[in-house]
Amino acid sequence: GLLANLEVNENGRPYMRGQLADPRFQLPVSGWYWRVVPVNGNGEGLSSQSLLDIKLKVPRNIRMHRDKDGVAHFYMRGPEGVRLRALEQEYTLFGNRNRYSILVAGNFDELRAEMSAFTRALVIILLLLGFALVLALFVQVRYGLRPLGVLHDELAEIREGKRERLEGGYPAEIEPVAQELNLLIRANREVVERARTQVGNLAHALKTPLSVLTNEARTEKGRLAEKVLQQAQVMRDQVDIYLDRARRAAHATGFGSVTGVREVVEAIVRTLKRIHRDSGIGVEIDCADDIRFRGEKQDLEEMVGNLLDNAFKYARKRIRVNCRVEQKGRHHRQWVILSVEDDGPGLPEEDHEKALRRGQRLDETKPGSGLGLSIVHETASMYHGEVTLGRSDLGGLKAVLRLPSAFSKPRKRLRQA
């Protein structure tokens, strides 16, 4: 720097031991200058070679521009009217009695260009560093959380019946969670199996005494025997209802059961068309091959069978079955939406809720027990689904069944049954 090369000889005159590193201070009228002059005006001064014999016109009020360290920051005009950015400070050199004013000035336009270039380079570097940091975080999070993705996929496969337990090799932090989930899945299966066993045992334990009571009552005559037969039948019906409900609940809470929807629908339609062969009813089925219900096949057959049985009872000539998959809810859960429509007389809106209650028969002219729609409602509820009734554009009733799906990419396929 300038101060490092500045010396004072024995006569008190300042001189430079060497040249400054920046060659612009040696080029004539380069716009880069320095000078050293006595503050009191006594003695000789010193200036850069770039000034030649030119005198810099320093403002007289530079003392007003000094900061707390005594450095003055100001602008001035140099040779050829070039605007200069200047710094000035007073020093006492090496014990000399004279104080010297040391001034360094540079071309303001060049300084601004250099600062702009530095700023651009700094911004680019910071952007690259930021991008590298974001990329590193993305890679770290993606690969760090990959085991959770594997865990999610395997749980989905268990739910869809493709595997029975978690088998992936997990990091030490996740392995305890995987083990606990396997234990939970096994415990759930044991509970379901135990419930099924108990349901069977209960059915055997209750139905045998009821059969004995019924047989004994039939051998007797009178009002008492009739009353026993009547109440025994009520007890048998209640046992069947609650045992059936327990069986459906056990099925609905199990893992791994997956049922194809279209094949169940087509099988039931074929059966009902044979039963109603003289009705001339046509059934249109619009259901993708790959739509899967996450549940027991027997439950799906019971629900779809009841809906189609009602449709065949009341339809004139047309029944339409539509099946699709849609996402609903905050977690984008997949649902099978199955609708059964007919061109029959339909059902008044005020009777929709009543029709879903157990034992409610709204039409005594048709055969049945009044349990069909209520069974559909109860079974769907076991799977956290629902059944709703509405008006079909065919003119009759439209029943919409919503059930959990085990597949999410349906491909539409139109069939005539």
Domains of the chain: 2-114 (3.30.450), 259-416 (3.30.565.10)
CA dist 296 → 138, 255, 268, 303, 388 (Å): 42, 10, 16, 11, 21
What pLDDT is attached to residue 365?
Answer: 47
Query: Phi/psi class of residue 294: alpha, beta or left (left: φ > 0; alpha: ψ in -120 to 50)?
Result: beta
List of residues 6+ apart from 174 with CB closer than 8 A: 147, 148, 151
pLDDT at 322 over 90: yes
pTM, entire model:
0.49
Q: Residue 416 — very low, low, confident or very high, per pLDDT cuts 50/70/90?
A: very low
CA dist 251 → 192, 256, 372, 396, 402 (Å): 7, 10, 19, 33, 17
What pLDDT is attached to residue 331?
Answer: 57
- CA-angle at 283, arms to 281 and 285, nearest 5°: 175
Instruction: Count the alpha carbons within 13 Å of 108 in the hemisphere toward its beta carbon.
Output: 13
Long-range contacts of 299-303 (CB under 8 A, 24+ apart): 299/248, 299/251, 299/252, 299/379, 299/382, 299/383, 300/259, 300/261, 300/264, 300/403, 301/264, 301/267, 301/268, 302/375, 302/376, 302/379, 303/375, 303/376, 303/379, 303/380, 303/387, 303/401, 303/403
pLDDT at 181 over 60: yes
CA–CA separation, 405 and 325 (whole Å):
7
What pLDDT is attached to residue 270?
Answer: 92
What pLDDT is attached to residue 410?
Answer: 37
pLDDT at 311 over 70: yes
pLDDT at 52 over 60: yes
Amino acid identity, position 353: E
Mean pLDDT taken over the chain: 82
pLDDT digits (tens, 9 = 90+) for 287-303: 999 899 988 888 899 89
Structure tokens at 22: 């920046």
Structure tokens at 56: 């810099």
* 75: phi then psi, degrees, rounded to nearest 5: -110, 150
Q: Residue 248 — very low, low, confident or very high, per pLDDT cuts 50/70/90?
A: low
Cβ neighbours of 14 (radius 10 Å): 21
Determine which of 53-57, 90-94, 317-321, 404-408 has the lowest per-residue pLDDT on average: 404-408
The residue among 328 and 329 whose pLDDT is bigger is 328
CA–CA separation, 287 and 206 (whole Å):
42
CA–CA separation, 290 and 406 (whole Å):
10
Asked whether the beta carbons of 346 and 392 are under 8 A apart, the reply is yes
Instruction: Count the alpha carbons within 13 Å of 284 in the hemisphere toward its beta carbon.
Output: 12
For the segment 134-147, the average pLDDT, to the nearest whole number, is: 88
Q: Residue 117 — very low, low, confident or very high, per pLDDT cuts 50/70/90?
A: very high
Strands 386-391 and 318-328: unpaired
CA dist 129 → 86, 139, 302, 345 (Å): 35, 15, 63, 72
Determine which of 143-157, 267-281, 357-371 has the lowest per-residue pLDDT on average: 357-371
DSSP per position, 275-286: HTTTT--EEEEE
* 363: phi then psi, degrees, rounded to nearest 5: -135, 105
Structure tokens at 80: 């050829």
Structure tokens at 223: 């009002």
